[in-house]
Structure 1
């Protein structure tokens, strides 16, 4: 019961810090660190078990826990999102987006139906989703490359954003989270 009360207080504290305009990621990190520290102090069980336990101190176990979590997140999804966001920013800075829109909008302007263009963009996004399974990464890339193109050929803002958001709605390919979880539960490789 004490754990539930701590979590509720933590959620309220994060909400308060965000309302007071503190930087949200640091607010979440601070409250998360505080909650894990409280758990390490009051829990009779050690925070880390097995080979990942580097210390016997509750304080150092909290640090080791954050280190382990950071390694697993940065190696996986976090690093992919940072790479894709950096690539998207680089493309924008060198003017590749403007150039692509100028070149591609001319032949696409012959297609008079914006719904057909939205459908083609959705299919293209599904194909790219096989290779970029991160919804955030795919969204960043599509907002940079496809959104200005769809706007330039006459699609509405709302329809273009809806098309881009739904591109990652289906889990396709062996790199999607559902494929990996299903493969783990079935004890087979994701490629199978």
Structure 2
């Protein structure tokens, strides 16, 4: 009975959060208040607020404040720094003309495909593959906006559809080293590799295909509804003095993550310099 009540409370809070976000309130503030309400209700129902690794302050109200402080410190020092670095990297790539060179080189072969929606689906699959390298939803979004977004817009995809493509891959979990997959494997008491490739991966692939089909029809419907015309940018209009190899620079974070987070490093242990 208690579990049912807890689920109902969670549903009510989720509905309330969604309602106020749709009404135009700040999503950050609404989510913060919703989380705070859930923390207070959890404390009133006798649940422990702080994680097992943390020592209680001795008073429930201050435990809630302590938990918020822990989250702010961990998010700001870890995820926050990564987001700031990715934002700075994206701005620098634009400043030196690397993003313009990516658009210029990619637009030439892609202009022979007449349907922008087929290009949009192809870009979505590429974005999902990029999620293997960046597990952070915000970091992935920033990286995609710096690399894929300009290419999609300049081959005739509407800005709204391109932004949706950059945002939606965060809903799919492909990386076996993702924190969500690791925790789920522990909860299921299954080996990580078996859980990631035999359980999660087939579901993720099915979800990717389903979302790609939904994107194709939904984005086309929205574009028609808003009377958006698709016009490809003339490559000759892109003026940049950057050399052609600069087109590789926006993708260096993906290469760096794959090399230095151990996914490839462990397979290279036989090399002499290792």
Same topology, TM > 0.5: yes
| Counterpart position of 2:190 | 186
Query: Is the aligned partner of 1:37 residue 2:36?
Result: no
Instruction: Give distance in 2, aligned partners of 1:164 and 1:82.
Output: 18
1:164-179 equivalences in 2 (<5 Å): 164=166, 171-177=173-179, 179=181
Q: Which runs of 5+ in 1 are unaligned?
A: none
Instruction: Give distance in 2, aligned partners of 1:38 and 1:56.
Output: 18
The 1:7–1:60 alpha-carbon spacing in structure 2 relative to 1, beyond 3 Å, is farther
Number of aligned residue pairs: 187
| Counterpart position of 1:97 | 99
1:44-83 equivalences in 2 (<5 Å): 44-48=46-50, 50-74=52-76, 79-83=81-85
Instruction: Give distance in 2, aligned partners of 1:94 and 1:120.
Output: 27
> What is the RMSD of the two structures over their aligned residues, measured on CA atoms?
4.3
| Counterpart position of 1:88 | 90
Alpha-carbon deviation of 1:137? Answer: 2.9
Is the Cα–Cα contact under 8 Å of residues 14 and 28 in structure 1 kept in the other structure? Answer: no
Worse-superposed segment, 77-86 or 58-67: 77-86
Instruction: Give distance in 1, aligned partners of 2:20 and 2:121.
Output: 42
Alpha-carbon deviation of 1:61? Answer: 0.9
Instruction: Give distance in 1, aligned partners of 2:10 and 2:128.
Output: 42
Alpha-carbon deviation of 1:64? Answer: 1.5
Is the Cα–Cα contact under 8 Å of residues 10 and 35 in structure 1 kept in the other structure? Answer: no
What is the SS of the residue equivalent to 2:100? helix
Alpha-carbon deviation of 1:44? Answer: 4.2
| Counterpart position of 1:26 | 29
Instruction: Give distance in 1, aligned partners of 2:120 and 2:13.
Output: 45
Q: 2:140 aligns with which of 138, 141, 148?
A: 138
Structure 2 length-normalised TM: 0.48
1:94-133 equivalences in 2 (<5 Å): 95-102=97-104, 104-105=105-106, 107-108=108-109, 112-114=112-114, 121-122=123-124, 124-133=126-135
Is the Cα–Cα contact under 8 Å of residues 53 and 61 in structure 1 kept in the other structure? Answer: no
